[in-house]
Every structure is written in structure tokens, then in C-alpha cells.
Amino acid sequence: MKKFTALVYARTMEFVRDKGTFFWNLLFPVVLVVGFSFAFSGNDETMFKVGIVGNNTQLEDSFLDLKAIELIEYDENPALVLEKLRRHQIDMIIDFKKQSYYLNSESSSTEVLRSLGRSDLQNFNEQEISGEAIRYVDWLVPGIIGMNMLFSCMFGVGFVIVRYRKNGVLKRMKATPVSPFTFITAQMVSRFVIVLLTSILVFAGTNLFLHFVVNGSYLLLILLTIMAILSMISLGLIFAARLKSEELASGLMNLITFPMMIFSGVFFSLEGTPGIMQNASKIFPLTHFIEGARAVMIDGAGFTDVLPQFLVLGGMTVLFLLISSVFFRWE
């Protein structure tokens, strides 16, 4: 019993004395709680999402003031907004510029919204579009594969190199003719092949019985996956550059991976969340991969449509590699 209590005391003091890990474990729960409360602090009584295009002051004191209706303002391309209605991401669109409103004939909420807005929208032209709802699994699979890639890249490269440094492996490697560039490149190539093959096998294996909707090119989807893997591996190398504490490395990686997993749209759409939250999600490579992959699979997007995602992921890869190369040390 004395040995046990001595070990417990020693391990506890090791944790407390590692100030970075100690404060990280205090900070991380606060970050999650604040993030969730901010993103989902809206009224949970809403039943319908109505897209607004233009100035909606024409319909003051109307059915749009009901608690069951959430209003989402759009300034983007009208065709993209209509596509959201076609895919059942929103339930209705009111275009004040064209004095028209749009409903999806295949949506279960159409008749209810038509009845609610009949008197308020009598001077508007009704337009109907059709489109079946995308299965949740079709929408979810890019997020799940992206999340799996993220954890495999971050912990498979960054955490392993930190462990090598802690165990003295890197110190011994320094005495060999192997250059840092050769060592890091070998780590990246090995992890890249593993993650790419794993992602393809997971997608192909689950597709055999789930039959995902893929309206775009498989080749384009693979190219986007390759770019995302390179970006995530490069991000992991930043944490591997100097850290020696596995606990601190794990905490800092979780600081990046968990918010990325939550706020990149892996499990739920960011549609209707505060604008600042949607803009903040753009700093994550996972967000751009998921957006591009869903555009290819669900919307049938071509290369020019997802070119912004390619450019952002490529830019992030270069930036992360530069940062990691500047700060990398063997010891």
C-alpha cells in the first residue's frame, strides 16, 4: 500500500509541476462549455428554417415573428440558396427583391408554411421546386472520414515524434548521418500512405452496403483527400517541433482536434449558427475538406467549384511546414 500511495503521489506531482499540462486541463473544459453555449444559445423551440433574401421590413408583425420559425439571412448567390431548399436544409425562402417565395413540394413542412404565410404573402408569387432530402449518412460520411484522417495525422505524426524526443530517440538520431529533412519526410510519407489507404478502404467498404450518393468525380474526391491529409500532417508537425512532454502534446492537440471536430460541421450543419462561429470555423483545414467533399458528393461539384478549398488547404500546408521547419529541434 505504501508503494501504491507513493506512486500515486509521484504521478500527481509530476502532473502538477508540468504547468502547461496543468493549466491546459483547466482551460479545455471552459473552452468547450463557452463554445457550445455560444453556438447553441438560440431558442430551441424553432421548427422551421426560413431563408431571407433582401430586406424583410415589408413583413413586420407577420408569421415570421413566430417562435417556431428561425430566420436566416442570405447574401450569397440565389442559386445556392435554392439548392439549400432543394436539399431540405431550409424549409422556405422569401425573396423580397423578386417579391417571391419558394417552397419544396417534397417537404413535409410545405403545407404548414403555406398556410401560415397565406395572408402575409398574398402579394408575393409562389414558386415550387422539388428535390428529395439527402440522407443523413450521405451528408455525414465526409465528416466522419475527415475526422478519422485528422486524428490519425495529428497523433500518428506529432505525438509519435514527441515520444521519440522524450525517449531520447531523436537525440540518438542526431548523431547519425540522417538529416532532419530526411527524417521528417519519411515520417510524413509513411503516415500519408497509411491515412490515404485507410480512408479509401473505409469509404469503399461502407459504400458496399450504404450506397452513398456521389454525384461528382471520384478522382476529384481522392485529390481533395490527398490535399487535406498533407495539410493535417503538416499541422501535426508543428506540435512535434519542440515539445517533449507527451501530456502537454496530447492536451494541445486536443485543443485543436476537438473544436475542429465540433465546429467544422462533422456531425451537424452550421446553418443558422452565429456568423462569427461560421467564420471562425474557416481557420480549420477539416472545415474546408468537409465542405469540398460534400460539394463533390452531394452537389456534383467540379474542379473549379472546389478550387477555393484546394487553394486554402495548399496554403495551409505550406504555412504549417514553414512553421514546423523553423521551430524543429532534435532535442
> Which phi and psi (to 5°) does residue 267 adopt?
-105, -20
**Structure confidence at residue 74 (pLDDT):** 79
**Structure confidence at residue 299 (pLDDT):** 77
Question: Taking the CA atoms of the chain, what radius of gyration do you get in angstroms?
Answer: 24
Nearest one of 243, 233, 254, 255 to 316, comparing CA atoms? 233
Q: What percent of the chain has pLDDT over 70?
A: 77
Kindly state the average pLDDT of the residues 250-273.
74
Separation CA 47–CA 148 (nearest Å): 32
**pLDDT tens by residue, 40-82:** 555 555 678 888 887 766 667 777 778 788 787 777 666 777 7
**Which residues is 93 bridged to in the sheet?**
51, 102
pLDDT band at 271 (very low <50, low <70, confident <90, very high): low
**Which residues is 73 bridged to in the sheet?**
52
Using an 8 Å Cβ cutoff, are 50 and 74 in contact?
A: no
Q: Is 300 left (phi over 0), alpha (psi -120 to 50) or beta?
A: left
Q: Is 98 left (phi over 0), alpha (psi -120 to 50) or beta?
A: alpha
